[in-house]
Structure 1
């Protein structure tokens, strides 16, 4: 019982969004992150995303932005977080075995290619989700996130929300909706951003204006008062 109380007060979970191909998946990720008590959703690279599928959950979730994985990693390590890659690797442990030790940030791979070598380098360990049917090779990234975050919440002893009728009771929206939180523009951060823009110009991960005119419901709109 004492260990369970320590968990409730001590541990936090984070979700790192780096290279998800379908940006509308981020809205659904935000909804799952809110449901399972995630402390922050960390955007790495581009600043914007499509909020479709979030069903208003974004107003109950903190967002933070970094230009690179290395900067995001430094931030998480300052908070004594493990970084857990959700990927089927040789060393990956089944998520239902709850191989967690402390506050944990979950890094999920691209829908088509999974975690890249660069993403794997910043991970402290990996978990996979056991499958029991033979009809699919992998799960949708938002489904995988929901399963992993639920297991972590159970292990960490997060308090279950109150139910009302056939739904969970939704908290009131914050009085002052939090504005965007970006990493400090130090000389190192600016140099890192410029380097990444050059490296990723070919695939459009960054564009020169920093905006995607085709997208709707962007992070800018969500956090501007």
Structure 2
């Protein structure tokens, strides 16, 4: 699989959610993780990351959207449940992406939504946990970007 990705959250407030997101990002091979305007002590993030992801990839803790420093060509993909967002199963992931999720009790800020190159929604009836949403996005990226062969229509049958 070519390219790279990072994943983070804006205004996240629960250390265990950030730790779970970091651990999952580590498991899926993310290049970096980040938070923007996090409402939690950085030390608590480190203690809630049981896989020690931050010993294996960078963690950026930006104070504001303006402080974000992403690699050239990296597209910001907002994950938000809005009417006009692209549904995740129909989204073509960019080769270089920084996925951003909103806080536990809210949405991505209007400033972040404006900065995003794409807004994508997970087709659920209502919002789900931040770390679970991140896991679904990373899984979809891995599957849709060609790491695996297409699945057969039926066992032993032609691939769709």
Q: Shorter-chain TM-score: what band?
A: 0.7 to 0.9
Give the conservation status (yes or no) of the 8 Å contact 2:7–2:100. Answer: yes
Instruction: Compare 40-49 and 102-111 and name the one that shifted more.
Output: 40-49
Corresponding residue of 1:19: 11
Greater share of strand: 2
Which sections of structure 1, spanning at least 5 residues, go unmatched?
Answer: 1-7, 160-225
* C-alpha distance in structure 1 between counterparts of 2:62 and 2:105, whole Å: 23
* 3-state SS, counterpart of residue 56 of structure 1: coil
Corresponding residue of 1:198: none
For the pair 1:121 / 2:114, whether they are aligned, the reply is yes
| C-alpha deviation, 1:53, in angstroms | 4.7
User: Size of the alignment, in residue pairs?
Assistant: 144
**Bigger Rg, structure 1 or 2:** 1
- TM value normalised by structure 1: 0.57
Give the RMSD, CA atoms, in angstroms: 2.1
| C-alpha deviation, 1:116, in angstroms | 1.6
* C-alpha distance in structure 2 between counterparts of 1:122 and 1:70, whole Å: 10
Greater share of helix: 1
- TM value normalised by structure 2: 0.78
Instruction: Compare 112-121 and 44-53 and name the one that shifted more.
Output: 44-53
Corresponding residue of 1:54: 49
Corresponding residue of 2:137: 148
Corresponding residue of 2:85: 92
Matched ranges for 1:94-109 at <5 A = 94-109=87-102
Corresponding residue of 2:22: 30
* C-alpha distance in structure 2 between counterparts of 1:157 and 1:61, whole Å: 23
Give the conservation status (yes or no) of the 8 Å contact 1:28–1:142. Answer: yes
Which sections of structure 2, spanning at least 5 residues, go unmatched?
Answer: 149-160
Corresponding residue of 2:67: 71
| C-alpha deviation, 1:117, in angstroms | 1.1
| C-alpha deviation, 1:102, in angstroms | 2.4
